[in-house]
A and B are shown apart, each in its own frame.
Chain A
Amino acid sequence: MVLAVAVLYGTGAYLLLQRNLSRIVIGLALLGHGANLLLLMAGGRAGDAPLVGENGGPFADPLPQALALTAIVITFGVSAFLLALAYRSWTLARSDEVEDDIEDRRIAAMIAARRAGSEFDDDTGAATGEEPPQ
Chain B
Amino acid sequence: MNPLLILPIAVPLGTAAVTLGLVKWPVVRRTLGTLALGTTIVACLLLLGEVSDGTVLVGHVGGVRAPIGITLVADTFSAILLAISSIMLLAVFIYAVGSPKTDESRAFFHSVYLILAAGVSASFLTGDLFNLFVSFEVTLTASYVLITFGGSKLQIRHGMTYVVISLLASTLFITAVGLVYAATGTVNMADLASKLTDIDPGLRSALGVLFLVVFGIKAAIFPLFFWLPDSYPVAASPVTAIFAGLLTKVGVYAIIRSHTLLFGEAGPSSLLLVVAGLTMLTGVLGAITQDDVKRILSFHIISQIGYMIFGLGLYTLAGLAATVFYIVHHIIVKTTLFLVGGLIEEGTGTAALRRLGGLLHTSPLLAALFLLPALSLAGIPPLSGFVAKLALIEAGFSIGAYITVGVAILVSALTLFSMTKIWSGVFWGRADEPPPNPGALDASSPGSPRLMLWPTGFLVLLSIAFVVAAAPLYALGEVAAANLIDPSSYIAAVTVP
8 Å CB interface, B159-201 against A:
159-160, 163-164, 167-168, 170-171, 174-175, 177-179, 181-182, 187
Given contacts A38-B175, A78-B141, A85-B148, contact A24 B164 (CB under 8 A): yes
Whether A11 sits at the interface, judged by CB under 8 Å, is no
Assess whether B153 is in contact with A92, with CB atoms less than 8 Å apart. Answer: yes
CA distance A36 to B179 in the complex (A): 12
Assess whether A41 is in contact with B178, with CB atoms less than 8 Å apart. Answer: yes
CA distance A7 to B284 in the complex (A): 41
Q: Whole-angstrom distance from the CB of B256 to the nearest CB of chain A?
A: 24
Which of A41, A42, A92 has the most B CB atoms < 10 Å from its CB?
A42
Whether A93 sits at the interface, judged by CB under 8 Å, is yes
Whether B124 sits at the interface, judged by CB under 8 Å, is no
Given contacts A78-B141, A85-B148, contact A99 B174 (CB under 8 A): no
Assess whether B171 is in contact with A41, with CB atoms less than 8 Å apart. Answer: no
Q: What does DSSP make chain B's interface, helix, strand, loop or mixed?
A: helix
CA distance A70 to B163 in the complex (A): 19
Looking at chain B, what size class is its interface with the partner chain? Answer: 20 to 34
Assess whether A93 is in contact with B153, with CB atoms less than 8 Å apart. Answer: yes
Given contacts A28-B164, A92-B156, contact A39 B181 (CB under 8 A): yes
Contact among B134, B144, B145, B148 with A70 in the assembled complex (CB-CB below 8 Å): B134
Assess whether B167 is in contact with A43, with CB atoms less than 8 Å apart. Answer: no
Can you name 13 A-B pairs with beta carbons within 8 Å?
A28-B168, A31-B168, A39-B181, A63-B68, A67-B130, A67-B178, A71-B133, A74-B134, A78-B144, A78-B163, A81-B163, A89-B157, A92-B153
Report B's interface with A, CB cutoff 8 A.
Answer: 68, 130, 133-134, 137, 141, 144-145, 148, 151, 153, 156-157, 159-160, 163-164, 167-168, 170-171, 174-175, 177-179, 181-182, 187, 230
8 new A-B contacts, CB < 8 A, other than A28-B167, A82-B164, A102-B230, are: A28-B164, A35-B178, A41-B182, A42-B182, A63-B181, A81-B163, A85-B156, A92-B153
